[in-house]
Amino acid sequence: MAAGARPRDLPFAVGGLSAFSTGMTPTVAIVGRPNVGKSALFNRLAGRRIAIVHDQPGVTRDRVSAELELEGRPYTLVDTGGIGLLAGEKTGDPIVQAALAQVQVAIESADLILFVVDAKEGVAPLDEDVAERLRECGRPVLLVVNKVDNPREELMAADFARLGFDPVWPVSAIHGHGVPALLQAMKQHLPPPTPDEAAAAPGEPSPEPSEAAEAGGEESLPGMAGPLKLAFVGRPNVGKSSLVNALTRSERVVVSPVPGTTRDSVDVPLQITTEGRVERYILIDTAGMRKARRIKDSIEFYSVRRAEKSIERADLVVFVLDAETGIVEQDKKIADKIVSAHKACVVVINKWDLYAEQVEAARRELEQLARKGKRPPDAPPARMSDFVAWVKRKLFFLDYAPVVFTSATEGMHLDRLLDAVRFVADQLRQTVPTALLNRVLHEAIEKRQPISATGERLRFFYATQIGRAPARFLLFVNKAGLFAPAYVKYLTGELRRAFGFEGCPILITARPRPKKVDFTAAKKKKDGRRRTTGRKASSKKSKPGRGGRTRAARQGRGRR
């Protein structure tokens, strides 16, 4: 985001680090110099791999947070970049300055600080500088000596007491040694949960459809719980982080003109109040996704993997494109990932303010070519309405997604972006009445039958909605094999015309109707088997033994 640029006023408030309003849950920040294992400790305490861990110093740049709970006490854990310059870095580097500013914000907003040092390297001058800074902030500090992998190193950990924080907590983030004791120390600084905090905790992910729902019930339709998760994805340097900062009206994530600035996927809580209604979101800023052959190192590889995982866990994907460069091959590949994950989507054409300078020149060029009866092949049009049609033609497999034009640096059309998100979210939660659904599908199938090599005709019996986010429909027919991909696409279009679902994927599953069981015939067949079994047993009992006599006759003769 350009310095001093402010988006125009919008009716929303920025959530704090820990929840959707400041002071909701306590914040625990992990700080220290570069490459002491802060991200590894963050992942260990979170219980899953969230932050990227690498031997190269300076990997973490943004504040990466996770909502956690310790014995009923909710808190937000924040990972930060290293404090101090690395070899080859300059003081005036904008990325370095932005990363250090993120660390300072984390320190100022923290309720508890975990000061991490490296047991294998001992006390370094940068450790003393960080200790001095932490003493001035006035926050409670726990000194965590990381990389303590054996008893000898645990004894050496006592040397770090001269930094002025006592006691010292030796741990091994990789192996988990000493972490339980550290958690008990952290618990002393976390207040017990209040009813308001428990109610504000983010919801769990939507469950999968149950067997009862798949059988046709509608009471247990899965939906979305908790705040709506929005993943901002796209190529590098298209303005994803700038959009997140513009929506939150803050410098929450690091922004620079250098492609690949964002590495971790960063969750940013956001609360919007519109006409007395409170809306809660989690904005997920992701790393730019390059072509696989252009990924330079393992750090970028893991960054792209985090971005792909963010698509999977999001409720709605904000697909950001660059108006200047238009749609390129990599944009289509990213769009395919969104479609494959069955995610709702809003397409954002960012940097429209920069493209507007080219609009007038493009319009004059088009007028000249029109006089000559020519037109550039598939060139991006100048007008917004024509540009939307051009985008939908290029991304034909994602043509159901609404298109919004924005400028993150100017704050242009941010309200329209939020309106589009609200509209698609409402469509995503939509439940179609069963009677109306069956009527629409019956008319669509009667109007157009699927192509069959054997000349069979599709018979439609019944349909029901078995899921939301995305919408899932189960159809009972005479033969599921008649549902070719082209015919499913046709029925999907008919459902969109009838019920909307703009920006939302629609999944249709065909299933042959189970055959009816004739209980009367089954009972007669069962009784017949019983009579046959009885006759066989009687015949076996009266079968003669040796000498033509039955066993009973021989036994009677012996008694005489």
Q: Report residue 9's pLDDT band, with 50, 70 and 90 as the boundaries.
A: very low
Q: Hunting for tokens 């033994």 — which residue is that?
A: 545
Q: What is the mean pLDDT of residues 440-448?
A: 92
Give the mean model confidence (pLDDT) for residues 122-147: 90
Contact indicator for 263, 54 with CB cutoff of 8 Å: no
Mean pLDDT of 282-301: 86
Query: Which DSSP letter does residue 25 get?
Result: S
pLDDT of residue 155: 81
* Residue 382 pLDDT level (bands cut at 50, 70, 90): low
Alpha-carbon distance 360 to 366, whole Å?
10
Average pLDDT over residues 287-305: 84
Q: Which of 116-130, 234-248, 401-415, 443-457 has the lowest mean pLDDT?
A: 443-457
Q: What per-residue string of b and e applies to 352-390 under the rule 16 or more CB within 10 Å gives b? A: beebeeebeebeeebeeeeeeeeeeeeebbbeeeebbeb
Rounded Cα distance, 476 and 464, in Å: 9
- Residue 214 pLDDT > 90, yes or no? no
At 71, list the tokens: 């014995």
- Residue 452: how many CB atoms within 10 A of its CB? 13
Q: Which residues of 155-183 are buried (b: 16+ CB within 10 A; e: fewer)?
A: ebbeebeebebeebbbbbbeeeebbeebe
Q: Residues 21-49: what's their mean pLDDT?
A: 84
Instruction: Say if residue 212's pLDDT is above 90.
Output: no
Q: What is the mean pLDDT of residues 150-165?
A: 84
Contact between residue 220 and residue 214 where contact means Cβ atoms under 8 Å apart: no
Mean pLDDT of 403-430: 91
pLDDT at 2: 41
Residue % of the chain over a pLDDT of 70: 75
Which pLDDT score, from 0 to 100, does residue 180 have? 93
Q: How confident is the model at residue 374 (pLDDT cuts 50, 70, 90)?
A: low
E strand residue ranges, 243-288 = 266-274, 277-285
pLDDT exceeds cutoff 70 at 52: yes
pLDDT of residue 530: 66
**What is the C-alpha to C-alpha distance for residues 239 and 351, in angstroms, rounded to an integer?**
8
Mean pLDDT of 127-145: 91
Greater confidence (296 vs 244) lies with: 244
pLDDT score recorded for residue 82:
84
pLDDT score of 181? 93
CA distances from 478 to 460, 462, 472, 483 (A): 7, 10, 20, 11
Q: What residue type is assigned to position 361 of the chain?
A: A
Quote the CA–CA distance of 59 and 307 in Å, as a whole number.
16
Question: Packing angle between helix 329-340 and helix 298-313, nearest 10 degrees?
Answer: 50
CA distance 408 to 428: 26
Q: Is the pLDDT confidence value at 296 over 50? A: yes
Structure tokens at 349: 């054409």
Quote the pLDDT of residue 13.
39
Share of residues in the chain with pLDDT > 90 (%):
33
Tell me: pLDDT of 141 over 70: yes
**pLDDT over threshold 80, residue 211:** no
Note the pLDDT tens digit of each residue in 497-506: 999 999 999 9
317-333 pLDDT, tens per residue?
999 999 888 889 999 99
Q: Rounded mean pLDDT of 289-316? A: 87
Helix (H, G, I), strand (E, B) or coil at 442: helix
How much is the average pLDDT of 404-430? 91
Structure tokens at 106: 């984390």
Neighbours of 419 (CB within 10 A): 14
Q: Which domains does the chain have, with CATH numbers?
A: 27-190 (3.40.50.300), 228-428 (3.40.50.300), 434-512 (3.30.300.20), 529-559 (no CATH)
* pLDDT of 90 above 80: no
What per-residue confidence (pLDDT) applies to 65? 87
List the beta bridge partners of residue 182: none
Which of 236-245, 305-314, 512-521 has the least mean pLDDT? 512-521
Report residue 92's pLDDT band, with 50, 70 and 90 as the boundaries: low
Report the mean per-residue pLDDT for the chain: 80
Backbone φ and ψ of 133, nearest 5°: -65, -40
Q: Considering only residues 407 and 211, tell me which one the structure prediction assigns the higher pLDDT.
A: 407
Tell me the pLDDT tens digit for each residue of 164-189: 888 899 999 999 999 999 999 999 88
